[in-house]
Amino acid sequence: MKKATLLLSALLISFNFLAHEGMWIPSLLKALEGDMQSKGLKLSAEDIYSINKSSLKDAIVHFGGGCTAEVVSEKGLILTNHHCGYSQINQHSTIENNYLKNGFWAMSSSEELRNPGLTATFIVRIENVTALVNADLSEGLDSEEASRLRADAIKKITNKAIEGTQYNAVVKPFYYGNEYYMIVSKTYKDVRLVGAPPSALGKFGGDTDNWVWPRHTCDFSVFRIYADKENNPSAISDDNVPYSPSHHLPVSLEGIKKDDFTMVFGFPGYTQQYLTSYAVKDYMEVINPSRIKMRELSLSVIDVAMASSEKTFIQYASKQSRISNAYKKWIGQNLGLNEKAALAKKRAQEAKYLKTVPRDGEYKNLLQNMKNLQVRLTKYEQANSLHRELWYYGPEIIRFSESFSKLIEENSTEKNAEKLKRATAFFNKYNSDIDAAILSKLLPVYFEMLDDDLEPEIKNIIASKYNNDFSEYAECVFKKSHFSSLEKVEKLLSYSPKKFKKKLESDPAYLLSKSILSKYEKDVKPVFYANYFLMQDEMKKYVQAQMKYFPKRTFWADANSTLRLTYGKVEGSSPRDGMNYDWFTTLDGIIAKKQYW
């Protein structure tokens, strides 16, 4: 491998850069090789992505299914972001050993900390399988039958790809289903924490530094992948040894300078660049504001509580980080969309589309149909989003109580013991007073933002019995529920199956959870996904039409958590009128920021 300076995405915190637009599928880099080399790349496309020899892709890790990490040693050492390793650091933290606050460094392999459930995935190959996925499709098929045939084809393709191997395979749609790629991967299940800076460094700047420039945070953590003695994936075991990679990244300490070539190679989440102006408008005015409001209310409770004690800080640090990350992103999204006049630009593109694409034929009335469909979709997307915010990021007692419903049918000593074990872990990271305060703040906003016909029945009970006093209702729920403390859960699990069922089905937290979930499952989820998939079919045609009638335009596939590459040069930026950013920051910026952070 040619010697090169590769910027690690985990360390991409000390400069700003202007990338060549696009998040490119690495198996297609040959087409971009000349442009990349003209900007300073010293590698070939084959050096970056190859299925025949070791290449840079073999050092890029999908960390925990949602982040990127990089292998930087012959013994499986990997770097990722501090916020990506945050939940693991939090998991191992106690008041006696507060690794979040003080940092952690393993002085030997025996001190490296195990993390059940944490994975590290490598890409084996990426393959365009569009023709195979669509092989059994014919003219005149309705979308439901076409989807079934594609699903059958995908199952056959992936089964064949991994037969006799330890690999996994998934086929994902690109360009809204105009193309399909199969990603074959290999996942390691023993990933251990090696080191992390104290939060004063790793989370320096807090939300001030999140998603924005300039950043001064030391946003990194260190892990190591372990494998069996044949270097294959293995469950966590004392017999495992450090993973031996086929390639690892050399780390340069020489620094960078303006106009250096740079690239980022990793697993970006999701983008939606091809949305219509109608969808963008609804995200800006309906979806994002409601999500922001819900999380803002949760954070108003959690942030104050975390500042009150070290124990509470440890209990809620990971939860707070998970909630605040998207919260800050959505605020930035709306800010950027407004400042960049995104709606005006979208509408200009659509006007050009209407002038260029024939009004008759396969794309007839496409944009108007999408506009009409968006009205129906937004109502249910809003309801779906609010449910997600309440159920997964709101008061934990709602989802926790519902998880006991399976015990009505499966009540046994063994099941109860397992449930008690999980409950013990749950309450180690839980404070009922905090949860009650979140419930009282979120429920009224949740009901207010839902359309009347999508509100769960529990709202009427709160109105009639508690006169819409959500604080009183929350206080009652936590006072009477069996799920507000470990002691109450232990008592509930000690009952006979008959009494357990009776107590569970009259529990106020359980009744709340069932009311919310049943309404969602019956009236929101099916209609949302029906309209969502209809819109996906329309988006497929919309992107297809643009590719056909605007051949000179560059099209790259939206990010979808698959391996991508983007590149450019080290530069500053001018994000808004009167503002210019350098490509570097200095110690002066850190000192200035510390004065108010």
Per residue in 520-534, pLDDT tens? 999 999 999 999 999
Whether cis (ω within 30° of 0) applies to the bond prior to 214 is yes
* CA distances, 450 to each of 79, 281, 387, 510, 555 (Å): 42, 18, 10, 21, 37
Structure tokens, 255: 């620094």
What would the pLDDT profile of 175-196 be if each residue is shown by its tens digit? 999 999 999 999 999 999 999 9
Q: Where are the alpha helices (DSSP H) in 125-254?
A: 130-133, 143-162, 199-202, 206-209
Q: What pLDDT does 17 receive?
A: 37
Residue identified by tokens 């839902």 is: 450
Tell me the pairing of strands 120-128 and 573-576.
unpaired
User: What is the C-alpha separation between 197 and 199, in angstroms, rounded?
Assistant: 6
Kindly tell me the burial class for residue 115, based on how many C-beta atoms sit within 10 Å of its own C-beta (0-12, 13-18, 19 or more).
Answer: buried
How would residue 12 be classed by pLDDT, with cut points 50, 70 and 90? very low
On the question of pLDDT at 11 being above 50, the answer is no
Please answer whether residues 122 and 185 qualify as being in contact, where contact means their C-beta atoms are separated by less than 8 angstroms. yes
Of 121, 114, 119, 91, which is closest to residue 238 (Cα–Cα)? 114
C-alpha count within 13 angstroms, C-beta hemisphere, residue 40: 16
Structure tokens, 138: 């014919």
Which one-letter amino acid corresponds to residue 571? E
On the question of pLDDT at 573 being above 90, the answer is no
What mean pLDDT is predicted for residues 316-325? 93
Residue extents of the structural domains in the chain: 9-119+189-271+558-594, 277-549
How would residue 597 be classed by pLDDT, with cut points 50, 70 and 90? low
Tell me the backbone φ, ψ of residue 497, rounded to 5 degrees.
Answer: -50, -40
Q: What is the pTM of this model?
A: 0.90
What mean pLDDT is predicted for residues 458-463? 96
What would the pLDDT profile of 342-373 be if each residue is shown by its tens digit? 999 999 999 999 999 998 889 999 999 999 99
Helix axes 413-428, 486-493, angle to 10 degrees: 180
